[in-house]
Amino acid sequence: MGDDRILNAGSGGGVSGFSGGVGNGEKGINGANGGSAGTLAEGRRRGLGFYVRIYRKILVQDLKSKMSYRADFIISTIGMIMTNLAGFLTFMILFGRFPSINGWDYHHMLFLYAFSLIALTPVQCFFDNNWNLRFMVQSGDFIKYCFRPVNVFFYFMSEVFDVKGLGQLAFGVGTLIYAWNKIGLGVSVVIILKLIVYLMTASLFMIAIMNAAAATCFWIQGSGYVMVIMFRFKDFAKYPASIFSSVFKFVFTFIIPIAFIAYYPSLVLLQPDSVPLLSWLSPLIGLLFFWLSYKFWMLGVRKYDFTGS
């Protein structure tokens, strides 16, 4: 998970562009320019079925590799569950002293906490390789992704699947079911579909934040601190935006949109009779943020390709 990388955020650093040279220096870079342009064009022509088949094969190999170190996998998974359990206990202690916070009682806050855990699972499982991006840019190893006839973003992200995120998912689902029952929310096909759609929506925001933060390594030396700061903001996602001041609420809604990771999407389920407009629009806003982060990431790739040493 990202937490495993934070301790190393200050080391290694990043480099702007492609310094240090790869292969034969500028000759290698110039070769990458033409090759990468053709690769990107080829990647755009591939269909969804092609990428699904490729990802399945990469995932199988990655899981086989991880399963060869089962003790490490078990210890890491237990550590992830214990971390989330500590967050659960924090809620219990907090609400042992305060019955509610700005109108949000224990079980509603627990619902937000569980919602955020589930929403954060995809960024951990499928996009964890963002933490390695700055090191590959610095070392020059990133050039290998520019010579494959697949989308560079897809190829880079598909290389790592963090199985520890499944432990977080299980804990989040269990906590959500518990809070759901205590609140007394109904269960129907429509409600379950809403839950799935808005959980996916919430995931897009954190993915977009980490994509953009990781891509800064193409321009900023030592960009690890950007990743750490953005990742730490996720801790605020488990709290309702309504408890913050107007300034922070604006920042967490329109600049660093962590309020969309749990607060706004969950209101569709928690307050079905008075859903804010931003909650209804969150799927479209999430897609927009993800698309912008992808474009920013790919802009960095193009800068990397066309930067001389």
pTM over 0.85: no
Residues 6+ apart with CB under 8 A from 179: 107, 108, 110, 111, 114
pLDDT tens-place string over residues 194-214: 999 999 999 999 999 999 999
What does each C-alpha distance from 146 to 44, 66, 101, 251 come to in angstroms?
13, 26, 50, 36
Say which residue, 10 or 212, is predicted with more confidence: 212
Helix (H) or strand (E) run with residue 294 in it: helix 277-305
Whether pLDDT at 284 is above 50: yes
> What's the pLDDT at 2?
52
Residues 6+ apart with CB under 8 A from 6: 228, 231
Distance in angstroms (rounded) separating the CA atoms of residues 260 and 206: 9
> What's the pLDDT at 106?
87
> What's the pLDDT at 130?
95
Neighbour count for residue 218 (Cβ, 10 Å): 25
What does each C-alpha distance from 268 to 39, 185, 218, 272, 304 come to in angstroms?
42, 12, 38, 5, 42
> What's the pLDDT at 34?
44
What does each C-alpha distance from 292 to 6, 151, 209, 217 come to in angstroms?
25, 16, 10, 17
> What's the pLDDT at 32?
41
> What's the pLDDT at 137?
92
The mean pLDDT value for 186-197 works out to: 95
Distance in angstroms (rounded) separating the CA atoms of residues 263 and 261: 6
Distance in angstroms (rounded) separating the CA atoms of residues 37 and 42: 9
Whether pLDDT at 31 is above 90: no
Confidence of residue 307 (pLDDT cuts 50, 70, 90): very low
Confidence of residue 45 (pLDDT cuts 50, 70, 90): low
| Range in 10-24, 95-109, 114-128, 277-291 the model is least confident about | 10-24
| Range in 23-37, 152-166, 202-216 the model is least confident about | 23-37
Whether pLDDT at 65 is above 80: no
The mean pLDDT value for 156-160 works out to: 91
Distance in angstroms (rounded) separating the CA atoms of residues 147 and 289: 28
Q: What's at 237, amino acid-wise? A: A
Distance in angstroms (rounded) separating the CA atoms of residues 289 and 266: 19
The mean pLDDT value for 35-44 works out to: 47
Nearest to 258 by CA among 273, 281, 270, 241: 241
Expressed in angstroms, the distance from the first to the final Cα of the chain is 33
| Range in 93-102, 129-138, 184-193 the model is least confident about | 93-102
Whether pLDDT at 22 is above 70: no
Whether pLDDT at 301 is above 70: yes
